[in-house]
Each structure stands twice: as C-alpha cells, then as structure tokens.
Amino acid sequence: MSRMPGTQDALVQLAHSFSVDLLPAPSPFQFDLKLRSPGVQRGILTLVQEITKTDIVPSAIDLKFLVKDVRWLNTNITDSVINGGMPVTDLLQLNIAGVTVNPPPATPAGVPGLIAALTGTIPIPVVTTTTSTSPVSVDVRWRVTDEAGTVVTNVSWDFGAAGSGTGGSITPPFGHELDDLNLTFPIDAVFTELTNVSLPPVRKFFVTASVNLTVAGIHSGWIDLPAVPLVLPQIAIPTLALFTKDIPFLDLTLVVVPENSPLTIDTLKPVLDSVKSALQPLSGALAILSAFINGVDVVKQALDQGKVTFVKQTEISNLRDIELNPPDWFDWNGDDAGDMLSSIIFIGPPHRQLQCFNDTDFNPDGQGEFVVDIGPISGEVLAPLLVKVPDLSGTAPPSDPAGHLRVLVLPNGWNARLVRRIREFNDEMSSIRFSWQ
C-alpha cells in the first residue's frame, strides 16, 4: 500500500498553503495577525490523501465444453477435414452383410458425442484507490524582526486571554496554535532623533510565521511562511536645550543642539512646526503629546522676545565661554552664559537626557547637579518629548510635566566668581551636556 504523494511531501505541501493575514487594528502601534490554515473540518486540521493498493481477489470460474466424436478423412494429423460422425451404427449390426443393403438399416438421429464441465476459483490482482483523512497536529512559532533581520525585543504580544509576553520570538500556548496574534509596539518606537542622517518617513518591521505539521509521527519540518511587513510611522524629533536669562523663558536666550544635529538658527522654527504637525493626529489618543504641541509655541515666543545665541555642541564644559551679549559702551563686561541661566526648555526623542552642573567641567563635587529626562519616566506610556523648567530657583525646581527633573547633588559650596554661597540652581549653572537615559 502506498500514499500518493508521500506523507511528508503532502505535509510540506499543506504547510505551504497556510497564510498570514493582517487584520485591522485600533491604533498605528498595534497589529493583529490571523494564521489561516487549509483543510479544517469541524475545527480540526486534516490531511486528505488518495491511497492506492493492490489486493489479490479469488475469482470464480465456470468452464463448460462439448466434445463430439467424429471420423476424419485421413491420417494426416494436420488435416482437419471431417468425414462423418462416430460411431458407425451400421457396423454394429450382427449381420455384416446388411452394410450393403440398399437402403441401409435406420440409424439414430444426430451425431454421438460427449459433454463436460469444469468449475473453481483463480486468484486475480485488483488495484483500488481510496481516500484517507487523517488528523494533523500543528506547531507554530512567530518571529518579529527589524529591517536588518534582528529579532526585536521591545514588542508586546498576546493571544487574547490565552497568554501574553514580550519579545520578538513567540510561541503560542499549547492548544492555541491557530489563535490570532496581537502585537503592540511601544509608542516611542515611532520616534527617532533628528540627525544629519536622512531618514525614511516610515519604519518597517517584519513578522514571520513558521509551521510544523505532524501525522502519525511523520513531520513536515519547520516551514517559514512569507514575511508580512509591519509599517510604523517614523517621526524625527530634534534634540535641543533652550535656556533663558530670566524667568519664565524671558530675556537673553541660549539654544544648544548636539554636534550631529542638522538644525540651524534659521531652520529651528520650521522644523519644530513640522514635528508639531506630525504629532497633531496622535494627540487625541495620546494626551501627553500636548506637552510638545503647546510647548512649541513657548519656544517660538522665547526665540522672538530677545537676543538668541545658537551653539552646536554636544557638551559645554564652561558656560562662561558662551557669549550671550557682547560688551558695549554701556556694559563693558557684556553677558556670558555662566551663572546666568534661570529657565530651561528641553526637547528630544524618548530617553534623551540633559545633564546640568553648578560647577564647570561637569564636576559633581558638591556644588550641585541635576538632570532633565525626556522620559518616559515611571507611570508614563510615552515620553512627552518636551520638558519645561520655568524657574530654576530652589533646591528642587519643578518640571512640566512633573517628575522629569531629578536632583543628583544638592546645591552647596562657594561661588568664587560671584562671591556668594551656592544655595540653589538658579543663576549657578556652569556646564551642561547631552546624554541618554
């Protein structure tokens, strides 16, 4: 008996007929996927095959034949000419002379002969084709990768109430292999830093389902189905810190961007407006983005209300080197940024950080140090992308949104330049640098 095609070949063929459909999802960060399988009968995956077999069947025979006794014309064994039937009745009479009697004596009608019959059975091979339906067990695994083929780690997944987890290597719970897979990317995955490198408007990931089918101990082996692209919007957020001499966000303004930033003083406002427009459609579902949308107007007001100094440096070890207002006839000293800054607006992609020191050279020697975190911080689903610190007065200046300024070293020590004790962060900052959380 044989299966056509072979069972393993049929399982491989069945596995390749699976498909993955991308279903509508409630947000741009979620993807629902359905694994569609063929050959499902009453909720059970089955393998249907034609089975060809050869059986030896006993067949009845019934042979009958007639034998007639005849007289041949001559003795040549190959000559089939018949001269008459047998026996010759006339020769059986007692009076042989009667042979010559004319007319001869009467004889029985017909030709004498024999009849015989043969019955029995004979084995005959018979080829038959039948249909076989076998239940198939299914093993499934999923893999979520980025464009470089690396398995991602920051995606959450679930199979409804059956099970959930994180990471891009996914195995469904037992008994739920064919359930829909729901993927959720962190919202901050759509944000990246605006740098000199040109970026596409979308970010792509790929999800691949693999199936392994089994019938009666025979396996198809793992079969990868075609990868399904997952497209996320990509929004590039510039990194910049805006400082002002007075509160809140007034007077002389210092704007600092990292060295790899494409921003200039002329492109600063258009870029912020462009980002604001990109975030606007998301703000309805993500209220925290209003911090950026509303904050952009505050940044533009600060840029418009006073003299602006633009610096492209990832770190500044001594703010006294940054001239905010040059000397003139009325102010021979002018204004530098050291011991002069009173408020901050910090913009950046998720996980960006601004480190601020009361001492020069990033020295946390006790004069005071704090960091401003873009976040997300504990309790936040998404980073606000813009943090305001309207007033640096005191030892723990509040931020907006709250909780994004962390004091690492309390203000203390002596400011030799201004000949005063250091009691707060306002008008004491001497060095800054951009970093990552």
Q: What is the pLDDT of residues 315-354, one digit of tens each?
A: 999 999 999 887 666 656 668 899 999 999 999 999 999 9
Average pLDDT over residues 216-229: 94
Q: What is the domain class of 2-52+131-236 according to CATH?
A: mainly beta
* pLDDT greater at residue 173 or residue 118: 173
Average pLDDT over residues 210-216: 92
pLDDT confidence of 109, banded at 50, 70, 90?
low
Task: Please state the φ and ψ torsions of residue 160, each to the nearest 5 degrees.
Answer: 65, -140
Cα–Cα distance for residue pair 278/300, rounded to 1 Å = 17
pLDDT digits (tens, 9 = 90+) for 372-427: 999 999 988 888 999 999 999 999 999 999 999 999 999 999 998 888 999 999 99
SS3 per-residue string spanning 253-315:
EEEEECCCCCCCCCCHHHHHHHHHHHHHHHCCCCHHHHHHHHHHHHHHHHHHHCCEEEEECCE
- Does the pLDDT of residue 360 top 90, yes or no? yes
pLDDT of the residue at 1: 42
- Does the pLDDT of residue 60 top 80, yes or no? no
pLDDT confidence of 193, banded at 50, 70, 90?
very high
* pLDDT greater at residue 169 or residue 105: 169
Cα–Cα distance for residue pair 126/55, rounded to 1 Å = 5
Please return the burial class of 105, using the count of CB atoms within 10 Å of its CB with bins 0-12, 13-18 and 19+.
exposed
| CB atoms inside a 10 Å sphere around CB 322 | 19
Cα-based distances in Å from 230 to 33, 35, 146, 187, 391: 10, 15, 9, 14, 43
pLDDT confidence of 171, banded at 50, 70, 90?
very high
Average pLDDT over residues 51-61: 74
- Please say whether the beta carbons of 302 and 256 come within 8 A: no
Beta bridge partners of 371: 355, 406
Nearest one of 221, 196, 168 to 13, comparing CA atoms: 221
What lies within 8 Å, CB to CB, of 169 at 6+ separation is 141, 142, 143, 151
Average pLDDT over residues 268-289: 83
Cα-based distances in Å from 110 to 69, 86, 89, 259, 406: 12, 10, 12, 129, 133
pLDDT digits (tens, 9 = 90+) for 290-322: 888 889 999 999 999 878 999 999 999 999 999
Range(s) of the chain covered by CATH 2.60.40: 2-52+131-236
* pLDDT greater at residue 145 or residue 73: 145
Token reading at 39: 């050959």
> pLDDT above 70 covers what percent of the chain?
79
* pLDDT greater at residue 162 or residue 113: 162
- Does the pLDDT of residue 71 top 90, yes or no? no
pLDDT digits (tens, 9 = 90+) for 135-157: 888 999 999 999 999 999 989 99
Task: Please state the φ and ψ torsions of residue 373, each to the nearest 5 degrees.
Answer: -100, 130
Average pLDDT over residues 104-122: 58
Determine the 3-state secondary structure of 58 from DSSP.
strand
pLDDT confidence of 281, banded at 50, 70, 90?
confident
* pLDDT greater at residue 52 or residue 305: 305
pLDDT digits (tens, 9 = 90+) for 29-41: 899 999 998 866 5
- Does the pLDDT of residue 111 top 70, yes or no? no
Can you say whether the dihedral through the CA atoms of 255, 259, 260, 263 is positive or negative?
A: positive
- Pseudo-torsion of CA 171, 177, 182, 185, nearest 10°? 10
